[in-house]
């Protein structure tokens, strides 16, 4: 009995090898649906774990959005009135109600693979292909949030003539570059950004405020005594060499690097930069709204015109809009 099973296993392995060689000689690539489903599940999990640096920081996120545009309702602040007459009429509040809109944009990340063994490797969470696709989707989400924070916001009610107006970030929400040596990221700029948000009523705690900066500001931050010295903070900044992930001055600090290739060339700029002036962003977590119309979807297709290589493609659809101008401060700094 054991000998018979042994012979059967050898025959099965041989037939499997012959089948594989036959497919290889034909130049085609095949994969079963289980592999495709496993890849999609793995990519979705990885994207949830290592997605956008900013998506989890925002408190206004709409998921499952249907349609071309998405709106975020805004109610202005009001204060309660005192009751002067015991049996008088009720006095009603009249908060200003307005809407801001974003326009959803589809984004994709795709790679081509030539070998079936590489296809199988896609279901491994440590696969470089899977991590690359997930990281690409996450960066695109971050870019939507960054562009919305300091870009133009659409406001108004949609009617037959359009009805939407473009709103730029007010000058009062922008901190200028300054002259050397105050053109770098200084303590004074952090204090000024904090004061602007506080005057707008943004809660002063690291859960309500984030500071987005690039690696080009790290050197200046390390030189701020109040950020690095234990006389002022419990953060051991020189132990880590970075502000990334730390809480300081009422902000959670998040480092946003540009996307660079292996030679160091910039493939995509994340935080805006013009010449040597980088725009960092102090942001209330409810100041930007993020709309997600399509969660990550993945596809695996053989492309005959690419020598039957396998295209692995993932896409998302999302957009963002600045809800509150007073919750965003742009900070011009020297890129070092």
Q: What is the pLDDT of residues 8-56, one digit of tens each?
A: 444 444 444 444 443 444 334 445 556 667 777 777 766 665 668 898 8
For residue 117, count CB atoms less than 10 angstroms from its CB and return exposed for 0-12, middle for 13-18, buried for 19 or more. exposed
Paired strand residues for 19: none
Higher local confidence (pLDDT), 191 or 82:
191
Higher local confidence (pLDDT), 210 or 128:
210
For residue 106, the number of C-alpha atoms closer than 13 Å in the C-beta half-sphere is: 9
Percent residues over pLDDT 70 in the chain: 82
Read off the pTM: 0.81
Higher local confidence (pLDDT), 223 or 46:
223
Helix axes 128-150, 33-49, angle to 10 degrees: 40
Buried b / exposed e over 198-231, threshold 16 CB at 10 Å, is eebebeeebebbbbbbbebbbebbeebeebbeee
Interval 117-133 mean pLDDT? 66
Mean pLDDT score of the chain: 84
pLDDT > 80? residue 95: yes
Interval 71-100 mean pLDDT? 87
């Amino acid at each position: 009995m054991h000998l018979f099973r042994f012979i059967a296993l050898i025959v099965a392995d041989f037939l499997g090898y012959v089948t594989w060689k036959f497919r290889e000689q034909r130049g085609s690539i095949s994969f079963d649906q289980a592999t495709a489903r496993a890849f999609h599940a793995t990519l979705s999990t990885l994207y949830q774990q290592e997605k956008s640096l900013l998506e989890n920081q925002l408190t206004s996120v709409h998921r499952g959005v249907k349609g071309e545009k998405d709106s975020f309702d805004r109610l202005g602040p009001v204060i309660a009135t005192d009751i002067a007459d015991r049996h008088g009429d009720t006095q009603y509040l009249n908060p200003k109600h307005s809407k801001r809109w974003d326009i959803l944009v589809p984004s994709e990340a795709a790679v081509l693979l030539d070998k079936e063994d590489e296809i199988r490797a896609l279901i491994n969470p440590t696969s470089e292909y899977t991590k690359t696709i997930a990281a690409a989707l996450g960066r695109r989400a971050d870019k939507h949030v960054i562009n919305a924070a300091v870009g133009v916001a659409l406001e108004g009610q949609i009617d037959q003539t359009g009805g939407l107006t473009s709103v730029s970030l007010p000058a009062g929400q922008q901190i200028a570059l300054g002259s050397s040596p105050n053109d770098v990221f200084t303590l004074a700029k952090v204090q000024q950004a904090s004061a602007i948000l506080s005057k707008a009523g943004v809660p002063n705690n690291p859960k309500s405020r984030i500071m987005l900066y690039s690696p080009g500001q790290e050197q200046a931050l390390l030189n701020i005594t109040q950020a690095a010295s234990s006389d002022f903070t419990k953060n051991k900044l020189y132990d880590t060499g970075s502000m990334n992930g730390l809480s300081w001055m009422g902000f959670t600090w998040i480092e946003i690097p540009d996307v660079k290739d292996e030679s160091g060339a910039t493939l995509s700029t994340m935080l805006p930069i013009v010449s040597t002036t980088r725009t960092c962003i102090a942001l209330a977590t409810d100041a930007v709204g993020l709309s997600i119309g399509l969660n990550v979807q993945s596809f695996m297709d053989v492309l005959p015109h690419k020598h039957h290589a396998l295209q692995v493609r993932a896409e998302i659809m999302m957009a963002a809009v600045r809800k509150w101008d007073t919750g965003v401060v742009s900070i011009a700094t020297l890129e070092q």
